[in-house]
Amino acid sequence: MNQLDALRQWTTVVADTGDFKQLAISRPQDATTNPSLILKAVQKPEYRPLLDEAVSKHAGKPLDEVIDRLLVRFGTEILSIIPGRVSTEVDARLSFDTAATVARGERIVALYRAEGIDTEKRLLIKVASTWEGIEAARALERQGIRTNLTLLFSFAQAVACGAAGVQLISPFVGRIYDWYKKSAGAQWDEAANAGANDPGVKSVRQIFEYYKQHGIKTEVMGASFRNVGQIRALAGCDLLTISPELLAELAASNEPLAHALDASAAPTADMQKVSYDEAGFRFALNEDAMATEKLAEGIRAFAADAVKLEKLMQESGK
């Protein structure tokens, strides 16, 4: 049994890609996309026609609507290949606007439903884990619209997401690792901070054990991996969303894989239940320099890629 098949025993494997033609190879249950992945895909010759088609078919409509239609086109193609759910992201430029995030999420759902997709079972709306984003997710969940809270770097964000009753969170393992490695500079010891000691892995483990200890139903999906060691150290997490390159690396290895996270096992620490109001959440996030910086950086990067996607569409329509 290769490591990818071994991982499937305990964890739902999710592909993190806009390149849906690769999905038949890795056979994931679910798939996630984001603006950066879609931008990367449409710059390839085999996917550029999807962008051109969206622009020509919906000429005259607002650019933000055309982008959503392109995202849904990619999502429906993905859903024709995988058996599970696809995550489609709300424009990161709305990360601090609850009402606008709700409205955009509702529109994306309506577009999927028009394609005959059972959105309650097969779609997750991705929203940034700001206070406003979490409140938007709370409102969407009340309508039966399932959400995936992304750009999550801190325990405080995870606590607030659990309290809001979101379907799933995506803690960014690799970006947490990146921050601590950069912060340490020449003092960074790669071997000492690998596997279970990786700061991104430790963050996900803390969240996973807190949720299980307190009966929080929100699913935990580790994301943004830099190496297969991080994935192995989280075997047993509810879900892991993995790039095609790392999926291939796991499939190529026949080394034994340990069950690292076990929801039925006793927690490593007794964690008291925590709750935040808005002021408490903002202060807790502010106290975490890594999470504050990476959240802001992530929103800026996704917003920049949304602008680049808009420019490609404008050039296509000329």
- Residues belonging to the active site: 126
126 φ, ψ to 5°? -85, 130
What is the residue type of 41?
A: A
**What DSSP designation does 159 have?**
H
Nearest alpha-carbon partner for 33 in 25, 41, 43: 41
Return all residues near 170 (Cβ < 8 A) that are at least 6 apart.
Answer: 32, 126, 148, 149, 150, 151, 152, 221, 222, 223, 224, 241
Packed helices 199-213 and 155-164: angle between N→C axes, nearest 10 degrees: 30
* Cα dihedral 126→132→137→138 (10° resolution): 170
Packed helices 98-114 and 131-142: angle between N→C axes, nearest 10 degrees: 40
Q: For residues 265 and 253, give the distance between their C-alpha atoms in angstroms, rounded to a whole number.
A: 27
Nearest alpha-carbon partner for 44 in 17, 25, 83: 17
Q: For residues 237 and 201, give the distance between their C-alpha atoms in angstroms, rounded to a whole number.
A: 11
In the block, residue with structure tokens 């929080």 = 216
Q: For residues 274 and 151, give the distance between their C-alpha atoms in angstroms, rounded to a whole number.
A: 21
